[in-house]
Amino acid sequence: MRILHTADWHIGKLVNGFSMLDDQRYMLGQLLTLIKEEKPDALIVAGDIYDRSVPPADAVELLDEFFTTVALDLNVPLLVISGNHDSPERLNFASKLLKSRGLHIVGANKNEPIIKVPLNDEHGPLNVYLVPFADPQHVRYYYDDLSIRTYDDAMSKLVSEIRKGDFSKEERNILVTHGFITAMNQEVEESESERPLSIGGTDHIDVNHFDDFDYVALGHLHGPQKVKHDHVRYSGSLLKYSFSEVNQNKSVTMVKFDVDGYKGYELIPLQPKRDLRIIEGRLQDLIKREFYSQTNCEDYLQVVLTDRGELIDPIHTLRSVYPNVMQLIRNNTIENLDSRTKATGEFKNKTKLELFSEFYENLTGKAIDKKQNDLLIDVITKAEKEYNV
């Protein structure tokens, strides 16, 4: 049996004021083609389907179109949970009706915190436990357990309830959840576009809670990665949603099972319509054809300009070549301005030329050249004559 694992679509997301909907439609089209070609036995989506709790109408329309094609036209079971960006109640709408058509959506965990979906092949059942983003207060309320204070407490309780049920280690078991799963002595890769779940580390969930599962399909972190074990994995987001993700390669995860359980995974790369990149250099160099001719000028860009001195409307100049410039940064931005602009030594005994030359060198890291020095002497001389200073 092969299960396709993905997460963190964030449909309807805006990145630096740019709508990602067209790019998301393109990526979901790729995913649809992949499903048609690979014919997985099920598709898992581990939360953050939408980017906000009240998604725009066109985002809902896109998701409806994709789910309908996968579940009804391709007859591939869909197993979906809500993430911290989703509205569990809205995502849960009509879930009981859709279940009969192979679309299993678990949103509102205050009603049913855990849903078990058995998949079957020639080796017997492969049980998928769907555990949506587990807010501690919801789990505390549902189980009437005041000891549940943190996300780790909540997950510990949920996993213990799974074990109390008809859970069997003799069968193959998958857990799908959304959260910040961590392991001792391992740093996970985080991104700026991930919304913090809480403050002060109380969102961390110990990976050891999941020791009894053959595979754990995670959502929340946007970089594809494992947590301690190969079979505990974040699939990563559908697209790059911040410039902290520029070095990530986006993919979906194909997970393989045989009669004994988990047998490995394969990362299947996705190619975006427009990449998210950082370019750096002087303005006039960046707009030369030889610089951009081998790149996609439609990519979303953060541009770091290294020019010194004033530039006239650089964003307009850049967008004449790169229409999707998202951010413009000057890398010679003055840091520690106060300490770098203070005159040193016996400044009262220094001439205006000496003071300005020192100021310029502190600020730019370069000494004034002869042409600048001559111009400065001329300006100071004129100013002294006109203003008697």
pLDDT classification of 381: cutoffs 50, 70, 90 = confident
Q: Can you give the C-alpha Rg of the chain in angstroms?
A: 28
pLDDT score, position 337: 46
pLDDT classification of 194: cutoffs 50, 70, 90 = confident
Q: What's the whole-number mean pLDDT along residues 108-129?
A: 85
249 φ, ψ to 5°?
Answer: -105, 115
| Pairwise CA distance, residues 370 & 3, whole Å | 70
| Pairwise CA distance, residues 258 & 2, whole Å | 9
pLDDT classification of 335: cutoffs 50, 70, 90 = very low
Q: What's the whole-number mean pLDDT along residues 83-87?
A: 89
Tokens of 30: 């790729």
pLDDT classification of 343: cutoffs 50, 70, 90 = low
Q: Which residue has the higher pLDDT, 286 or 311?
A: 286
pLDDT classification of 346: cutoffs 50, 70, 90 = low
Tokens of 98: 């859709």
135-159 tens-digit pLDDT: 898 899 889 999 999 999 999 999 9
Tokens of 228: 């301690």
- Across the chain, mean pLDDT equals 89
| Pairwise CA distance, residues 342 & 200, whole Å | 39
Q: Is pLDDT of 339 > 50?
A: no
| Pairwise CA distance, residues 135 & 148, whole Å | 10
Show the beta-strand stretches assigned E in 112-228. 115-121, 124-131, 172-178, 180-182, 204-206, 215-219, 225-227
222 φ, ψ to 5°?
Answer: -90, -10
Highest mean pLDDT among 69-73, 231-235, 345-349: 231-235
Q: Is pLDDT of 107 > 90?
A: no
Indicate the burial class of 260 (C-beta count within 10 angstroms; 0-12, 13-18, 19 or more). Answer: exposed
| Pairwise CA distance, residues 23 & 299, whole Å | 11
**Assigned CATH for 2-269:** 3.60.21.10
Q: Is pLDDT of 199 > 70?
A: no
| Pairwise CA distance, residues 359 & 344, whole Å | 10
The type of residue at 350 is: K
Q: Which residue has the higher pLDDT, 302 or 331?
A: 302
Q: What's the whole-number mean pLDDT along residues 356-385?
A: 81
pLDDT classification of 354: cutoffs 50, 70, 90 = confident
| Pairwise CA distance, residues 114 & 131, whole Å | 5
Q: Which residue has the higher pLDDT, 379 or 12?
A: 12
pLDDT score, position 152: 95
CB atoms within 10 A of CB 350: 15
pLDDT classification of 46: cutoffs 50, 70, 90 = very high
Residue 132 contacts residue 81 (beta carbons within 8 Å):
yes
Q: Is pLDDT of 95 > 70?
A: no
SS3 per residue for 184-217: CCECCCCCCCCCCCCCCCCCEEEHHHHCCCCEEE
Domain boundaries along the sequence of the chain: 2-269, 276-330, 338-387
Q: Which residue has the higher pLDDT, 279 or 366?
A: 279
Q: Is pLDDT of 319 > 50?
A: yes
pLDDT score, position 69: 94
